[in-house]
Structure 1
Amino acid sequence: MAFKRISDLGDLTGKTAVVRVDLNVPMADGKVSDDTRLQAVKPTVDAIAALGGRSILLAHFGRPKGEVVPEMSLKPVVPALASVLGRSVGFAELGDELPDDEVVVIENTRFFPGEEKNDPALAKKFAALGDVYVNDAFSAAHRAHASTEAVAHLLPSAAGETMGAELEALEKALGEPKRPVVAVVGGAKVSSKLAVLENLVAKVNHLIIGGGMANTFLYAQGYDVGASLCEKDLKDTALRILENAQKADCAVHLPTDVVVAKEFKACAENKVKAVDAVAQDEMILDAGPATVSTLTKVLAECKTLVWNGPMGAFEMEPFDAATVGLAQAAGKLTDEGKLLTVAGGGDTVAALAHAGVKDNFTHISTAGGAFLEWMEGKELPGVVALG
């Protein structure tokens, strides 16, 4: 995975960097309610400033679909960004005269129909804002848009500090990992992660399947999953994945015991049962303690872990136990220097935070779609353009 870094752009004294960032932050009452993505911008702006350069930031906000939607303006984000950066931050419409601030935010790129069409004419307008281009928005790297792909071909280009760190972590996880490699893939539906599973069985040594997805695989193997969430129409697909895993010498781990309940709600009356003892009116809502014990031993045998998705209905106690138990085991192994851990996806980040190990993992990606497409083995246009 070859790409240039900001340091490769040379002396930037008197020059301007056009920087694609992720400012798609949550808002409440007109103010930023979580500045995590703003914090991620700071290392890149600081690196550019250290080389003498100025930053012009491009970003999208929401899904205005090529129309000007006042409620999706980036202007309300500017005060919070200025506070995080500790620099003066200006704001401008594309085509306006730029203010003299150290950093300038350009209005929502998706206000332009040409953005999502990867329009060369719009890319030229973005390129005209500066002398070099830096992409620091991994979360948008799976989209071939004017501000993520086309513009990269018009200026000397590099990956930002946050994006560079992300790409290096991903390379260590699946590109050239230390083996054995184990992947945890959970979530509700197999259908949403088919490509992920099919790619991983050819790349990892162990594949742990959890959440509602596991029910489909158990059903495919002949188990009665009762009233559980299950995509029965994907029985043949699940069997094909298991067959491909066997051919690739990838060990697939499914629950051997499960936590069942008759109601899908927090603190519902529940029981731990073997996978062959689920009643018709029972739902599998989590993996059981014996499964967690077995999987913890699998983690201890491995050198690299890639994690996407929870092991059960982690939003509701006590059906968070398997996710929390396995996540804490992974966090402990990471702290001991025995396991490199990379995780990503919205539910995954929330689950690891819930387990109290968000800061223990080697790397956690906040990019949803881009992280999944990377796990699927797809090339990301925004990254390829930097090569």
Structure 2
Amino acid sequence: MHTRLVLDRQKSAIEASMVDFNVLIKDGIVTDTARIRRILPTIDYIFQQKAHAVIIISHLKRLYGKVESKYSLAPVAAELQTLIPNRRVRFLNDCVGPDIEEACRSCDEGDVILLENLRFHSEEEGLLPKDEQGQRKSTSKNASKKFRASVNLPYKAAGLLLQQELEVFAKLLDQNCSNSSNKSFLAILGGAKLLTKYKLILHLLSKVNTMIICGALSWPSLNIGDEKEQDVIALATVDAQQQGDQDPLDGMLGLDCGPASSALSEQKIMEHQTILWNGTPGVYEYQENFSTGTKHLLEAIGKATTENGAMSVVCGKDTTALVAKWSYQGKLSHVSTEGNAFLESLEGKSLPGLAALSPRQ
């Protein structure tokens, strides 16, 4: 992070800000404005630095170039206008092209301009556009590079929200738990299938003191779930395992953890000073009956944070969504807005968005 340009070191007449407005829109209304609200301090800061205008660029859903009006960012622009009534928010119905460039160049001082969904263009996801027969155009071999170069600015700096994410990320990975007697690091991983989080588990094993694996991730050790995952090589010795008296039957699923697992998890949570959580133990989104284990886990993490002063970090789209659903943000240290990108960083991957930032001068 310290080698890359951040917002407080960069000033220009017009600032273009790449954000994540991947929000839920229902009947033309943004139902959760958290992601929009979190970008407001960055907009304010940019104008405090005497910027002429701010251009906001974002994507919504994975559309692979298909234009669907229900995924237009127009409702986001309307919500943004409500949140910053003292400024004019202009919505442009595309994100590239001569008309869009001219509209941005000729904007009035103080304008906030939101461009249309980047993913209405297939090039945004590294795909070539299709012809009338649905075939990828071979003549557009460099389309993706040209598309991304259309917003090729001389300087690229991390905004305030990204800076915050990077600082939290650095604190997590700076934990040298094996050499510390005062602090300890616990990772709680659940949710998706083990094959999707194999690399994340492997990378974190050398950094954490304790790892709790729950939800579908625990199925291979219980001999249930997808047969393909039964062949996954064990990464570490399982120190404790909670399983009911009745063995799972073929075709059955594990939909929540029980009281014994919840009690053991709470005990471990209260013993650690750094807690990372991604993925739930139960399918809380389907039925309230399967949310008990997840709620208990969230309450325990909140208790460790507020009573023990633990640093708690929650990441992943589904996990952060439940934190918002149960209004628990105020009892946790940090709720990431970066979704899968945060997880990929924890896997040790180099993220293109960070690599593209200009070096400090």
Q: Would you call these one fold, judging by a TM-score over 0.5?
A: yes
Instruction: Give yes or no for the alignment of 1:278 onto 2:243.
Output: no
* Equivalent in 316, 338, 363 of residue 309 of structure 2: 338
Aligned to 2:221: 217
Deviation at 1:343, TM superposition (A): 0.8
Deviations 1:102-125 (A, max 9, x none): 211122223334333384433443
Aligned to 2:23: 25
Instruction: Give yes or no for the alignment of 1:89 onto 2:89.
Output: yes
Deviation at 1:333, TM superposition (A): 1.3
Instruction: Give yes or no for the alignment of 1:187 onto 2:191.
Output: yes
Deviations 1:165-218 (A, max 9, x none): 111112212344664111000114212222222222222111101012212122
Deviation at 1:51, TM superposition (A): 0.4
Letter of the 2:234 partner, please give it: R
What CA distance in whole angstroms lies between the structure 1 residues aligned with 2:305 and 2:335? 13
Letter of the 1:311 partner, please give it: P
What CA distance in whole angstroms lies between the structure 2 residues aligned with 1:188 and 1:65? 24
What CA distance in whole angstroms lies between the structure 1 residues aligned with 2:262 and 2:61? 39
Aligned to 1:45: 43
Aligned to 1:136: none
Aligned to 1:143: none
> Are the counterparts in 2 of residues 323 and 351 from structure 1 also a CA contact under 8 Å?
no
What CA distance in whole angstroms lies between the structure 2 residues aligned with 1:170 and 1:66? 32
Letter of the 1:256 partner, please give it: Q
* Counterparts of residues 203-242 of structure 1 (less than 5 Å): 203-219=207-223, 230-237=225-232, 239-242=233-236
What CA distance in whole angstroms lies between the structure 2 residues aligned with 1:284 and 1:124? 47
What CA distance in whole angstroms lies between the structure 1 residues aligned with 2:30 and 2:303? 33
Letter of the 2:18 partner, please give it: R
Aligned to 2:60: 61
Aligned to 1:126: 151
* Equivalent in 264, 289, 301 of residue 294 of structure 1: 264
> Are the counterparts in 2 of residues 208 and 253 from structure 1 also a CA contact under 8 Å?
no
Deviations 1:292-338 (A, max 9, x none): 22222212221111101111233334332222112211101111253
Instruction: Give yes or no for the alignment of 1:368 onto 2:339.
Output: yes
> Are the counterparts in 1 of residues 186 and 209 from structure 2 also a CA contact under 8 Å?
yes
What CA distance in whole angstroms lies between the structure 1 residues aligned with 2:261 and 2:272? 17
Specify whether residues 81 and 288 from structure 1 end up closer, same or farther in structure 2 by C-alpha distance, changes over 3 A only.
Answer: same
* Equivalent in 104, 110, 116 of residue 107 of structure 1: 116
Aligned length: 323
* Equivalent in 256, 276, 285 of residue 242 of structure 2: 256
Letter of the 2:125 partner, please give it: E
| Aligned partner of residue 289 in structure 2, secondary structure | coil
| Aligned partner of residue 347 in structure 1, secondary structure | helix
* Counterparts of residues 114-193 of structure 1 (less than 5 Å): 114-117=123-126, 119-127=144-152, 154-176=153-175, 179-193=183-197
Deviation at 1:66, TM superposition (A): 3.1
Specify whether residues 73 and 321 from structure 1 end up closer, same or farther in structure 2 by C-alpha distance, changes over 3 A only.
Answer: closer
> Are the counterparts in 2 of residues 32 and 80 from structure 1 also a CA contact under 8 Å?
yes
* Equivalent in 289, 293, 302 of residue 322 of structure 1: 293
> Are the counterparts in 1 of residues 270 and 308 from structure 2 also a CA contact under 8 Å?
no
| Aligned partner of residue 22 in structure 1, secondary structure | coil
Letter of the 1:47 partner, please give it: Y
Aligned to 1:7: 8
What TM-score do the two structures reach when normalised by structure 1?
A: 0.75
In angstroms, what is the RMSD of aligned CA positions? 2.5
Higher strand share: 1
What TM-score do the two structures reach when normalised by structure 2?
A: 0.80
| Aligned partner of residue 278 in structure 1, secondary structure | coil
Deviation at 1:35, TM superposition (A): 1.5
Instruction: Give yes or no for the alignment of 1:308 onto 2:278.
Output: yes
What CA distance in whole angstroms lies between the structure 1 residues aligned with 2:200 and 2:146? 35
What CA distance in whole angstroms lies between the structure 2 residues aligned with 1:177 and 1:341? 17
What CA distance in whole angstroms lies between the structure 1 residues aligned with 2:211 and 2:234? 15
| Aligned partner of residue 21 in structure 2, secondary structure | coil
Specify whether residues 17 and 114 from structure 1 end up closer, same or farther in structure 2 by C-alpha distance, changes over 3 A only.
Answer: same
| Aligned partner of residue 331 in structure 2, secondary structure | coil
Deviation at 1:39, TM superposition (A): 0.8
